[in-house]
Amino acid sequence: MSSMKVDVRKLEVFNKISKEGSRQVASSLNQMAGLDAEIEVAKINFLHMEDVKTHLGDTKQVGIFVELTDPPNGYVLFVLDPEDSKQLAQSMIPGGGEGDSQGFTDMERSAIQEIGNIMTSGYIDGWANVLDTTIGMGTPTFTYGPTSKIIEKMGGWPDEDLVFVLDSEILASSTDVDLTVYTFPQIHDLVDLVKQLDIDTDIQADVLADDSLTNN
């Protein structure tokens, strides 16, 4: 258990990881999708896996997941309400496209896939900036259905006890979208990265302040 101990002063890094990851997502959406977006961080938690299963529930959701190929390894999963996802997709389709109340059109799926690619790249870049490392990732995968099926497509529940959960909201001129990010890191790998940080430089100086991100 001693290998899991972290200097209490470094616990603030998890708050900064969330803010920087979200800031990068908003910046990427603004630059690549023209959404004029901000992301408001509402809640940051470490949850036990069983609590995450309850948190996710089993309703139909849109999920976008990606595998991390470098420490802290694991997966990142973005979960959005289907209607919110449609709003986000429509904001990227010229003329709004034609809606499909029974599911998603090819154009909507393509738009959400692109948004997912933007969000995952930005989010992981934010983590890498704070942890002072490089984190590679696979190709983001779009899924739609009961959350249990999303997890199955992700490869099943990771063999870890804790999950990093970020509840946030995308605030854009055209739409406001609730977004939850579940990060399933290899906990020991994450702890090792945090331990390597220099408290006096990495945590205090390497992260850009962003007043648009708040912790309620």
pLDDT at 61: 92
pLDDT at 7: 57
CATH of domain 8-196: 3.40.1550.10
CA distances from 163 to 74, 110, 118, 145, 183 (A): 10, 29, 22, 21, 6
Three-class secondary structure assignment of 16-80: HHHHHHHHHHHHHHHHHHCCCCEEEEEEEEEEEHHHHHHHHCCCEEEEEEEEECCCCCCEEEEEE
pLDDT at 1: 44
Domain boundaries, the chain: 8-196
Instruction: Find out whether 189 and 71 touch, Cβ atoms under 8 Å.
Output: yes
Q: Which of 136, 135, 128 is nearest to 197 (CA)?
A: 128
pLDDT at 63: 92
Question: Cα angle vertex 183, ends 153, 199, to 5°?
Answer: 160
With 0.85 as the threshold, say if the pTM is over it: no
Instruction: Find out whether 18 and 122 touch, Cβ atoms under 8 Å.
Output: no
| 104 C-beta neighbours (distance < 10 Å), count | 19
| 48 C-beta neighbours (distance < 10 Å), count | 12
Q: Which of 78, 156, 80, 151 is nearest to 121 (CA)?
A: 78
**Residues of the chain whose pLDDT is less than 50?**
1-2, 201-216
Q: What is the pLDDT of residues 158-183, one digit of tens each?
A: 787 778 777 777 777 667 777 888 88
pLDDT at 99: 55
3 state SS of 151: helix
Beta bridge pairs of residue 18: none
